[in-house]
């Protein structure tokens, strides 16, 4: 009987892990497909990419599924294991999707904040009529700030919570649906505190720059899951500060720099949709005449 229950738990664990990875893979495929074969233009350099809020938020959620589900999988699996044990003992249990939904709510709300910040940045840059070099140097300063944040005690605190799912379960566990929601929100908040500036740097690098997204995902995954996660965070800090310093001196090395047009945040961009979204990551195309 015990062996049957163990096998059942193993099957459930594999199903959940498979679903998380399948959703992440589907999200990556969607993001890549939307950009494939399209010509980059100035809209890709704009912080909002020319999108209205609902579309921006939809793309943001897809990005979070692609980038965060693989790194959140250990915590989600531990949560399911504990709940499965409660179910076997005939105790009240909560479905794992409740925890995941609360976790994703945190990242969805972060997308609302990201859009508000991006729209404000576009408005300020347009009013100030920033030159291409100045706009790019702002991006360089963001990269330096992100690198320095990697070395802060708050980053280290949030990272420690993300790296130890069992410790989180032991200290933050709450029973019931409300408890699962609270735990999902709390774990999402720790993940956000750990990674938020790594997502902010995607704005100067190109929010839909697939190569930049992949590198950030690998960094987050290494920080949270590998034994040498903390050295990875420090190495990332050095790399970001160094690259940001180079951008401050030579702004044209920033991917979103457009000679003669600046980062597209200096002028309103035409609205985009998921069918016409251009290829990210090659925003060095000269501005259209």
What does the pLDDT read at residue 24? 96
Q: Is residue 256's pLDDT more than 70?
A: yes
Q: Are 41 and 285 in contact (CB under 8 A)?
A: yes
pLDDT tens column, 179-225? 999 999 999 999 999 999 999 999 999 888 889 999 999 999 999 98
> How far lies 107's CA from each of 39, 224, 227, in Å?
29, 17, 26
Q: How confident is the model at residue 260 (pLDDT cuts 50, 70, 90)?
A: very low
Share of the chain above pLDDT 90, in %: 58
Q: What is the pLDDT of residue 263?
A: 46
pLDDT of residue 150 exceeding 50, the answer is yes
Predicted TM-score (pTM) of the model is 0.82
pLDDT the model gives residue 278 = 44
Do residues 139 and 108 lie in contact, with contact meaning Cβ atoms separated by under 8 Å?
A: no
Domain boundaries, given as residue ranges, for the chain: 2-80+93-264
pLDDT in the model for residue 269? 43
Nearest to 107 by CA among 50, 67, 51: 67
Of the pLDDT bands very low, low, confident and very high (cuts 50, 70, 90), residue 287 is: very low
Distance between CA atoms of residues 147 and 59, nearest Å: 25
Q: Which residue has the tokens 């997308």?
A: 111
């Amino acid at each position: 009987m015990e062996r049957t229950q163990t096998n059942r738990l193993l099957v459930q664990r594999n199903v959940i892990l498979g679903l998380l990875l399948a959703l992440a893979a589907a999200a990556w495929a969607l993001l890549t497909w939307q950009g494939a074969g399209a010509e980059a233009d100035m809209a890709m350099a704009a912080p909002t990419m020319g999108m209205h809020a609902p579309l921006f938020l939809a793309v943001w959620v897809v990005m979070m599924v692609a980038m965060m589900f693989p790194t959140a999988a250990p915590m989600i699996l531990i949560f399911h294991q504990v709940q499965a044990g409660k179910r076997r003992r005939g105790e009240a249990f909560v479905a794992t999707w409740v925890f995941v939904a609360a976790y994703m709510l945190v990242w969805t709300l972060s997308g609302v904040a990201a859009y508000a910040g991006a729209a404000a940045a576009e408005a300020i840059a347009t009013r100030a009529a920033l030159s291409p070099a100045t706009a790019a140097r702002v991006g360089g300063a963001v990269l330096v700030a992100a690198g320095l944040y990697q070395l802060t005690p708050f980053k280290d605190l949030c990272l420690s919570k993300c790296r130890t799912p069992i410790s989180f379960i032991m200290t933050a566990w709450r029973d019931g649906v409300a408890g699962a929601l609270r735990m999902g929100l709390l774990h999402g908040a720790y993940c956000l505190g750990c990674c938020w500036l790594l997502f902010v740097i995607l704005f100067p690098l190109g929010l839909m720059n697939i190569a930049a997204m992949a590198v950030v995902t690998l960094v987050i995954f290494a920080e949270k899951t590998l034994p040498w996660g903390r050295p990875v965070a420090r190495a990332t800090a050095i790399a970001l500060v160094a690259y940001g310093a180079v951008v401050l001196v030579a702004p044209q090395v920033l991917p979103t720099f457009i000679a003669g047009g600046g980062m597209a945040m200096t002028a309103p961009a035409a609205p985009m949709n998921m069918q016409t979204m251009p290829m990210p990551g090659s925003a060095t195309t000269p501005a259209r005449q």
